[in-house]
Amino acid sequence: MSDPAYLIKGGRLLGADVGHVLLRDGVIVAMGADARDAADVDVIDADGLVVLPGLVDLHTHLREPGREDAETVASGSAAAAVGGFTAVHAMANTDPVADTAGVVEQVWHLGRRAGLCDVHPVGAVTVGLGGSELAELGAMAESRATVRLFSDDGKCVSDAVLMRRALEYVKAFDGAVAQHAQEPRLTEGAQMNEGPMSGVLGLGGWPAVAEESIIARDVLLAGHVGSRLHVCHVSTAGSVEILRWAKGKGIDVTAEVTPHHLLLTEDRVAGYDPRFKVNPPLRTTTDVEALRAGLADGTIDAVATDHAPHSVEDKDCEWAAAAMGMTGLETAIGVVATSMVETGLLDWAGVADRMSRRPAQIGRLEAQGRSIAVGEPANITLVDPKARYRVDRMAMVSRSRNTPYEGLELVGRPVMTFLRGRMTARDGVPQV
């Protein structure tokens, strides 16, 4: 039995003109008046809704294999669909680590079986994330998972020679190295952003220079070997400046920022609530403003969630012992709308660019991040741009509930998601 055809009627395409979009057999088959008059279709009343291309996440932790108590490929895919995503990149810091063709194919296969969004495994740069020996990057690239992004995320590839070799290696298959920029010696014992507040709270400081020094080194390395660098979760004003300089020099570097670094500051740490413990740490208002400006002017290419689910045992404990990370798939569009659209920094076409088109390009996903046009794959997200609501972690579908936004009011809510013409989520409920 084939999937039903859907007529998305009267939505605002990329937040601008009102239009109609007809989805059939996985493709956008008609728009405008041709679509409006179609027969034998399920009509979706999109009056007042924004029609976006399906969102693409460059940075998701799905925890499978190894920590299925925190998340699985299936539960994470459901959270992604509810959040408006049609593709996610699954980070390699699983157990076992995704450092071989076998593990990345396993994750890829689990994603296909779940069927709620396209799951693209990220391959580890070094064996076991150990930072001393390059993993089989070529074998992962040639596997059925066709890996194009490689990252030791959670850890930094701190050895300059190894980083250079990885950058050289990925050129063979148009890959990129996605760096978690954190100089390890400068962050030993670090618990929060370094500054007056870390002194007051008595927590180990995490200096901005620990991030910035690695980004500076890596853009120079990428320029030197002529390769493609992607910088994960940029968190400081200085990092934005370095990226702006590197792009001005023509260096092939892209970067992402997380929703939480666009909205939250280190002030949240004052209550020692481990929900706000994250790597890299929440920074200052000056940093948040620079990150917003960098995303608005395109210095930062993409928003990536760094969705990091943790079990209650790992997260709900005293600050020093708590795991770093927060969930983010289901709240991403609301946080971006609240911090970027409501503030007038970005319009919905800009959101489509930073959350769909550019991340798809960075991940080399040819069938994602496309225009909303006849003949294109029917990967579509509907957003209610005016919806005001308080975040309720108990309503989330991720297996973990470590959101930092509990009780916070957001504007802008994902309403419906279509993956190749099939409805994958509706009003917070995955359509399995």
Stretch that binds Zn ion, among 149-157, 204-212, 380-388, 412-420 (CB under 5 A): 149-157
- Nearest CB to Zn ion, comparing residues 70 and 114: 70
Contact between 306 and 59 under an 8 Å Cβ cutoff? The reply is yes
Q: What gap in Å lies between CA 20 and CA 11, rounded to an integer?
A: 7
Q: How far is CA 48 from the centre of its chain?
A: 26
Stretch that binds Zn ion, among 121-129, 137-145, 225-233, 346-354 (CB under 5 A): 225-233
In the chain, the amino acid numbered 32 is G
Stretch that binds Zn ion, among 61-69, 98-106, 151-159, 381-389 (CB under 5 A): 151-159
Q: In the bound complex, which residue of the shown chain has the CB atom lying closest to Zn ion?
A: 180
- Nearest CB to Zn ion, comparing residues 157 and 352: 157
Contact between 346 and 292 under an 8 Å Cβ cutoff? The reply is no
Q: Find tokens 């669909």 and name the residue.
A: 81
Q: Tokens at residue 267, please?
A: 């002030």
DSSP-derived secondary structure letter, 37: T
Span 14-73, contacts to Zn ion by CB under 5 A: none
Catalytic choice (118, 152, 218, 306): 306
Q: How far is CA 105 from the centre of its chain?
A: 21
- How many angstroms separate the Cα of 368 from the Cα of each of 160, 236, 349? 33, 29, 16
Span 287-316, contacts to Zn ion by CB under 5 A: none
Least Å distance, CB 109 to Zn ion, is: 25
- Nearest CB to Zn ion, comparing residues 305 and 417: 305
- Nearest CB to Zn ion, comparing residues 122 and 333: 122
Question: Counting contacts by CB under 5 A, is residue 153 touching Zn ion?
Answer: yes
Least Å distance, CB 55 to Zn ion, is: 19
3-class state of residue 243 by DSSP: helix
Site for Zn ion (CB under 5 A): how many residues? 3
- 42 in catalytic set: no
In the chain, the amino acid numbered 19 is G
Q: Find tokens 């979760």 and name the residue.
A: 233
Stretch that binds Zn ion, among 38-46, 130-138, 176-184, 198-206 (CB under 5 A): 176-184
- Bridge partners of 18, per DSSP, are 12
- Bridge partners of 134, per DSSP, are 126
Q: Just list the catalytic residues.
A: 306
- Residues in contact with Zn ion by the rule CB under 5 A: 153, 180, 232
